[in-house]
Homo-oligomer: A and B are copies of this chain.
Amino acid sequence: MPTYHKPESKTIQELKDVAHKLRIHSINSTQASKSGHPTSCASIAEVMSVLFFNTMRYKISAPRDASSDRFILSKGHAAPILYAAWAEAGLFPVSDLNNLRKIDSDLEGHPTPRLNFIDVGTGSLGQGVAVACGMAYVGKNIDKADYRTYVLVGDGESAEGSVWESLHFAGHYKLDNLCVIFDVNRLGQSEPTSLQHQMEVYRKRLDAFGFNAIVVDGHDVEELCKAFFEASSTKDRPTAIIAKTYKGKHFPKIEDLENWHGKPLGDSANTVIEHLQGLIRNAGPIQITPPSPQKDSAKKVSISNVQLATPPAYQLGESVATRLAYGTALAKIAMNNDRVIALDGDTKNSTYSDKLRKAFPDRFIECFIAEQNLCGVAIGAACRDRTIAFVSTFATFFTRAFDQIRMGAISQTNVNFVGSHCGVSIGEDGPSQMGLEDIAMFRTIPGSTVFYPSDAVSTERAVELAANTKGVCFIRTSRPNTAVIYDNNEPFHIGKAKIVKQSANDTVLLIGAGITLYEALNAATELEKSGVHCRVMDPFTVKPIDGEAIVQHAAACGGRIVVVEDHYKQGGLGEAVLSTVAGQRNVVVKHLGVEEIPRSGPPTVLIDMFGISARCIVAAVNDILKL
């Protein structure tokens, strides 16, 4: 273990001065914006000073350099001091800080990657540690590089269970390149935190979760320098620095008092700033510079032009579950690009992500039953374009991580989410396991692409497309086997539907996806017997949906659409279709979907009982023909 050398007293003094300068910037910028959280900045001033001017190795010329240390401010509301630290480090003029929260500034109320020094958006609490775990896992096991990851967590947010999922993950995988700093400032938004300053409780918990847990005075820069050194030289377990701090530290008549959360100092600002200036020894420019990263510790990688190693290879009519085709395609793209990784939450033998694990065990991350951390780790793993991440679990269990996925979009993530076991067609396991709201959820994600492939060929192409598509992608897969209906060389495009059955005499357009596409085909065959001809459309992507094709084919079918989905009626395929025809007069839509909580039973019985079977489609067609 290397020996710790205490910084020179000049350095110590300068780090103290920097902390106060950052405090002053935090006060001034929130005074200018008339909103924000200066007291939450004050408690972490010394931590920020030491991290940015003594401990972290990074390049001002390339804030997202692959080989540099990472920093995540999980308590995103302390954004002003983060911006101040980067400004003082030289990234942009300190005067810009006064643009905080203005409409034409990217110095937003909470950090987002619109800023070139931010990896992920924070502000929904308790998510930073998972992202940091993803970065640290990739650094240690995939990049095998020496960069370290630091994440700063508020004590209030440490009540979030997601934090403990991630701490367990970090302990389990012995992420010794990860350092989690807890800012224990005792006060939440509306009252003191439940643990207040019980430092020993924090220590015991972190120790029990597999951490090297160090309690420090968070306002003592010397103690902090030493603790960060200890963190970087501790092997085989991550370190937690548990900093005892005070909210509004060094703000006279405000420090450690309630009712100062999220409030600029107002009339008290000048007095406080004067006080802080009095604490500064060297008011001139900062002399110390942070250490540099090891050049090219993380090698250059390519995450573009990902292709299936071999094209789909199925027989028409062959019965294959789309979830199985997902696993097959995942392994194929991983064969062609060594940055493809997969993550799962102990469902890999159901989602078939285990096909990647079997082929490339080093590129599979088992996250156990903890979906919030699962998604957060994936987001972290994909940061700085280090990996192409595919995350899978049952579709409905992504509801557990809706907030993480929502923040993922704000973080400009490119993670691909794959949800199996959608709809009532899973059968006997019952409603708790059925994905019936997953399309609605993923459609709300700005910039998302929602794939709902119906057969194995289109599923393989969906995986290939998702790997190359920016933003959040979601692929919905089904549990039952379905017939292969496309040729192996059929091309697929995002936002382009397929017509799988048509004639010159069609009077109704049927739209279905997954198992309901097959029900629609069966209904069309049945209706033909009574002389009613239906056109059948497979949308392939629900978002973007092929509005042009829907409008055109609806017009060709007398303006009649029947759309049917194995999903609740709200927010799914049906409403996506309705949105595309909103501006059309003379189009009517009949929408079949699940309208109540389903139950356990055989898939075919459930499909009929909950109104989405071929029989129900036939009835809907006969109804809509009267309109």
CA distance A402 to B398 in the complex (A): 9
Distance in angstroms between the alpha carbons of A597 and B121 in the assembled complex: 12
| Chain B neighbourhood of A370, CB < 8 A | 159-161
Q: A443-B571, A444-B436, A601-B101 are in contact. Are A429 and B109 (CB under 8 A)?
A: yes
A362 within 8 A of B: no
Q: Is the CB of A428 within 8 A of B101?
A: yes
The smallest C-beta distance from A315 to any residue of chain B, in angstroms, reads 28
- Name the one of B126, B397, B596 contacting A403, with C-beta atoms under 8 angstroms: B397
Q: Mark A401-435, 1 if CB is under 8 A from B, else 0.
A: 01100110110000000000000000111111100
State how many copies of this chain the complex holds. 2
Q: Complex formed: what's the CA distance from A429 to B570 in Å? A: 29
Centre residue among A430, A543, A559 by max chain B CB count within 10 A: A430
Within 8 Å by CB of A189, from B159, B349, B397, lies B349
Say yes or no: is A205 at the interface (Cβ < 8 Å to chain B).
yes
Q: Which of A123, A189, A373, A444 has the most CB of B within 10 A?
A: A444
Give CA–CA (A138, B587) in the complex, Å: 53
Binds B, one of A162-170, A462-470, A483-491: A162-170
Residue of B nearest to A436 (CB): B444
Residues facing B in A335-378 (CB within 8 A) are 344, 346-350, 354, 366, 368-373
Contact (A112, B444) CB under 8 Å given A189-B349, A366-B191, A597-B409:
no
Across the interface, which residues of B come within 8 angstroms of A407, CB to CB? Answer: 432
Other A-B contacts than A110-B600, A160-B161, A190-B354, 20 sampled, CB-CB below 8 A, are A33-B428, A103-B600, A103-B601, A108-B430, A108-B431, A108-B600, A112-B430, A112-B599, A161-B162, A191-B346, A205-B209, A207-B208, A397-B403, A407-B432, A446-B596, A570-B576, A575-B578, A578-B582, A584-B588, A585-B587
Binding site for B on A (CB under 8 A): 33, 35-36, 76, 101-103, 105-106, 108-110, 112, 114, 121-126, 156-157, 159-166, 168, 172, 188-191, 193-194, 201, 204-205, 207-209, 344, 346-350, 354, 366, 368-373, 396-397, 399-400, 402-403, 406-407, 409-410, 427-433, 436-437, 440-441, 443-447, 543, 559, 568-571, 574-576, 578-579, 582-591, 595-597, 599-602, 605-606, 609, 627
